[in-house]
Amino acid sequence: MIHLRKIVESLFDENTCIHCGNLVDENLKKWFSDKWVNIGKKKKGGGHPPCGTSGKTRGYAKCVPKSKAANMSKKQKKSATTRKRAAQNKAGRGGTSDISGGGKKPIRVNTKPKK
């Protein structure tokens, strides 16, 4: 009985918010194992390239999990990418120079616009 109680307590502790104590429904392991793709670009054969910097090319990447990208329309992808790049430019981190955004906190933009 004591062994079972320790197991239940450890499971509870792993899914508890450290700030408020509420149970959370998040899976960080899944988040890391997802394949992230850049929806701002297309590969020649179709699909999207993996997320990450690609040298001195235009714009910043808008990265989402591959499964989410598959469920987005072309219009939604363009909207999300445009809003991300506009936010980067507004923060003074647009363009392609190494100085513009290197090492700074990323600008985050919701994938779906607020109505």
Predicted structure pTM score: 0.64
pLDDT at 107: 79
31-51 pLDDT, tens per residue?
888 899 999 888 888 889 888
Minimal CA–CA distance to 33: which of 70, 79, 67, 1?
67
Q: Which amino acid is at 3?
A: H
pLDDT at 65: 92
The CA-atom distances, in angstroms, between 110 and each of 51, 83, 103 are 17, 9, 21
SS3 86: helix
Angle at 38 between CA 93 and CA 59, to 5 degrees: 30
DSSP state of 50: B
Minimal CA–CA distance to 79: which of 34, 112, 30?
112
